[in-house]
Structure 1
Amino acid sequence: MAATNVEELTSGASGRIIPLFHRAKSMALLLFPSYNFLKKFIILFYSSFLCFLLLLLPRSQRFSPAEVSESEPRPAAKFRRRRLMEEEEDTRRRRALAEALEMMPVKIDGKEERESGEDCRWSTSIFFGVRRNALFCRSWFPISSNPKGIIIIIHGLNEHGGRYAHFARQLTSRNFGVYAMDWIGHGGSDGLHGFVPSLDNVVADTAAFLENVKIEHPGVPCFLFGHSTGGAVVLKAASYPHIERMVEGVILTSPALRVKPAHPVVKRGIPVSRDPAQLLAKYSDPLVYTGPIRVRTGHEILRITAYLTRNFKSVTVPFFVLHGTADRVTDPLASQDLYDQAASNFKDIKLYDGFLHDLLFEPEREEIAWDIIDWMEKRLNVAQYFGNLVD
């Protein structure tokens, strides 16, 4: 068969260069027994030449790639190690601040606490979440008798449970026990400050903490309280039947069911209280994260709000939702939609005209707290009544 002519798709110089390669190949076949032997000879010569060059290098520059990676980590590994060290140091600092925080308010209802709250005991503890993260917790309990109910406080984005000490004191004065758990990345808990890799993990931590409280206090009715994004966490946790069965109801203040354009996901520096002293106290608190919102955290907030909005009609847990009509962070109309669409048999809503986002830090916070306590007592009375009918 005649050889096929192949068009040379190169520059004009190929007419001179390609014949040279053909002649070189012909000469190699004459000089060596086989063309394969020539290839092996060239490879051996090249390897020997590289070894000779390597011997000329100083010994300090003759490390193998493995030795280089072990003795000098890659930049990415260095960055991760440094970030973990900074995160651990920041967690230790925040936990020390959380431990030192005053847990008993000076005043309640505008009056001095009698003898530094001798009728109330309080403590701090560490709870290990579903991913074994150390979560900082606080508790307040009446001394005089067994509590008629327990409320678990889940704070809002960027704050911490210690901010609710005044509310806790009002609750203990009506014979309720109180727990407050700091999320991951918040308050005295583990994690990068202000960073929440998954709100589903916060939901799972809340559920696990509730289960632990029920074990420690068998037979005592429990409520879940959530503010803002904490309200979204509480509502999603209560959507699971085994969690709903463990609670008498949930309380939601300014829940993040729909965020507004002024939400920290979009904008910073918006007023959340009409009380200047409360604003100053919040944003000068070293345990409150005031930096730009973390991208992942913002994504998680938008994700959970979208999920809840799609599932309002499936909500069956008893709830009380409270919202200020002038809230510029979360949408009070979404709270109204929740109330209108939820299938819960026991539900209430209260909209406060002209109030802002942090309801329990507004000038009228005492009255708002009593509204919450009155609702819980009403709920307990209803549960007791139907319990007696069953008995």
Structure 2
Amino acid sequence: MSSETQPETPPNFWGYMPEEEYYTSQGVKNTKSYFDTPNGKLFTQSFLPLDQQVKASVYMTHGYGSDTGWLFQKICISFSTWGYAVFAADLLGHGRSDGLRCYLGDMEKVAATSLSFFKHMRHSEVYKDLPAFLFGESMGGAATMLMYLQSEPTTWTGLIFSAPLFVIPENMKPSKLHLFMYGLLFGLADTWASMPDNKMVGKAIKDQEKLKIIASNPRRYTGKPRVGTMRELARVCQYIQDNFSKVTAPFLTVHGTADGVTCPTSSQLLYEKAPSVDKSIKLYDGMYHSLIQGEPDENANIVLRDMREWIDERVERYGPKNY
């Protein structure tokens, strides 16, 4: 294709290579589909290893304003190349799923909607006897924790959190005055995109070249946060902190010490308060919020290596010996 006929923005983060060709080059098979739920259609993707037997299934949730495409899928592809069947869904209001863009007025419903797809795959004939893990990044970590709390404890073999949102940094917290004033409108302002955004993307991405790629994602939400979203995230963070005592599954939580979007305290509190007997925490000195998508490759590879070691060990420890 000549440069004159190419769109200004490539259709994918890797450029113009056809999708199937790219995924094959990465050693995975990708499928895209829509999953019907009572709350609307979810856009879903699967990433399956091409040339190896599946060891377990992993169910991934992206962060605020993002989607399962663009750079987030690099995480999905990595896990798939390690021998895992990966399933991901755009959250309601995100990417190609139904819902008002980036409106998270009821996080319990948002989490339950993705969970319905994840459980559908987890209990399917192919995967029901294999270990199964939930993975959540950033605000997707909060959604993932809600999914875990909404599930029977035995549903999930383990949990992986990347810079999860369980504690909002002081400078990112919504103004109580703003929320109070909007609250006087009896819900009319709930969907308004009128809260300060505190330049979240710039605080999340260290590698400037990757920041440009992330910023070129045509499905990324770039508007201001909605009133109801910020109110609900503040509520959910407190709810999760109050329920750390219910986390009994094995888990790994990782955080950069220079994270300006979600507090490293999120991971530290979970590690301290969860009664799980198999729990791990990794803090990466000087790394920003987006540990895999936004750090230089050498840093991202350290995080991925730690995740791989952790999940491989849990499959060996808890999984069937004949998979």
Same fold (TM over 0.5): yes
Task: Name the counterpart of 2:311.
Answer: 376
Task: Name the counterpart of 1:176.
Answer: 84
Question: Kindly tell me: are residues 106 and 379 of structure 1, through their superposed partners in 2, closer, same or farther at Cα, counting changes over 3 Å?
Answer: farther
Quote how far apart the aligned CAs of 1:206 are.
2.7
Task: Name the counterpart of 1:342.
Answer: 274
Q: Tell me the secondary structure at the aligned position of residue 239 of structure 1.
A: helix
Contact 1:130-1:201 within 8 A present in 2 as well: no
Quote how far apart the aligned CAs of 1:207 are.
2.1
- Summarize the alignment of residues 309-348 of structure 1 with structure 2, pairs less than 5 Å apart: 309-348=241-280
Matched, 1:155 2:62: yes
Offset from partner CA, 1:58-112 (integer Å, 9 cap, x none): xxxxxxxxxxxxxxxxxxxxxxxxxxxxxxxxxxxxxxxxxx95487999xxxxx
Distance 2:97 2:22 in 1: 32
Contact 1:268-1:292 within 8 A present in 2 as well: no
Distance 2:231 2:171 in 1: 16
Offset from partner CA, 1:149-199 (integer Å, 9 cap, x none): 111110011111113222222222211111110011101111222222311
Distance 2:245 2:63 in 1: 24
Task: Name the structure where helix makes up a greater proportion of residues.
Answer: 1
Distance 1:169 1:158 in 2: 20
Q: Tell me the secondary structure at the aligned position of residue 43 of structure 2.
A: strand
**Under a length normalisation based on structure 2, what TM-score does the superposition of the two structures give?**
0.80
**Counterpart residue identity of residue 170, structure 1:** S
Structure number with the bigger relative contact order (C-alpha 8 A, sep ≥ 6) is 2
Q: Tell me the secondary structure at the aligned position of residue 88 of structure 2.
A: strand
Matched, 1:259 2:168: yes
Q: How many matched pairs?
A: 280
Stretches of structure 1 that go unaligned for 5 or more consecutive residues are: 1-99, 108-112
Question: Kindly tell me: are residues 210 and 103 of structure 1, through their superposed partners in 2, closer, same or farther at Cα, counting changes over 3 Å?
Answer: farther
Contact 2:13-2:213 within 8 A present in 1 as well: no
Contact 2:173-2:234 within 8 A present in 1 as well: no
Offset from partner CA, 1:230-250 (integer Å, 9 cap, x none): 1011112212451x3121101
Stretches of structure 2 that go unaligned for 5 or more consecutive residues are: 1-9, 175-195
Distance 2:22 2:242 in 1: 48
Contact 1:153-1:179 within 8 A present in 2 as well: yes
**Under a length normalisation based on structure 1, what TM-score does the superposition of the two structures give?**
0.67
Say which of 218, 221, 227 aligns to 2:137: 227
Contact 2:87-2:118 within 8 A present in 1 as well: no
- Summarize the alignment of residues 131-150 of structure 1 with structure 2, pairs less than 5 Å apart: 131=39, 133-150=40-57
Considering only CA atoms, is the larger Rg found in Structure 1 or Structure 2? 1
Contact 2:112-2:150 within 8 A present in 1 as well: no
Task: Name the counterpart of 2:37.
Answer: 129
Percent of matched pairs sharing the same residue: 30
Quote how far apart the aligned CAs of 1:263 are.
2.9
Offset from partner CA, 1:355-376 (integer Å, 9 cap, x none): 1111112111122112112111
Matched, 1:218 2:121: no
Quote how far apart the aligned CAs of 1:204 are.
0.7
Offset from partner CA, 1:331-362 (integer Å, 9 cap, x none): 11231111011100111000011111111121
Quote how far apart the aligned CAs of 1:127 are.
1.1
Distance 2:136 2:258 in 1: 19
Task: Name the counterpart of 1:14.
Answer: none
Distance 1:190 1:166 in 2: 23
- Summarize the alignment of residues 41-120 of structure 1 with structure 2, pairs less than 5 Å apart: 102=12, 116-117=24-25, 119-120=27-28
Question: Kindly tell me: are residues 103 and 379 of structure 1, through their superposed partners in 2, closer, same or farther at Cα, counting changes over 3 Å?
Answer: farther
Q: Tell me the secondary structure at the aligned position of residue 150 of structure 1.
A: strand
The Cα RMSD (Å) is 2.4
Task: Name the counterpart of 1:268.
Answer: 198
Question: Kindly tell me: are residues 355 and 103 of structure 1, through their superposed partners in 2, closer, same or farther at Cα, counting changes over 3 Å?
Answer: closer
Question: Kindly tell me: are residues 272 and 103 of structure 1, through their superposed partners in 2, closer, same or farther at Cα, counting changes over 3 Å?
Answer: closer
Say which of 285, 302, 309 aligns to 2:217: 285
Quote how far apart the aligned CAs of 1:280 are.
1.5
**Counterpart residue identity of residue 220, structure 2:** V
Q: Tell me the secondary structure at the aligned position of residue 303 of structure 2.
A: helix
Task: Name the counterpart of 1:63.
Answer: none
Quote how far apart the aligned CAs of 1:254 are.
0.9
Quote how far apart the aligned CAs of 1:119 are.
3.4
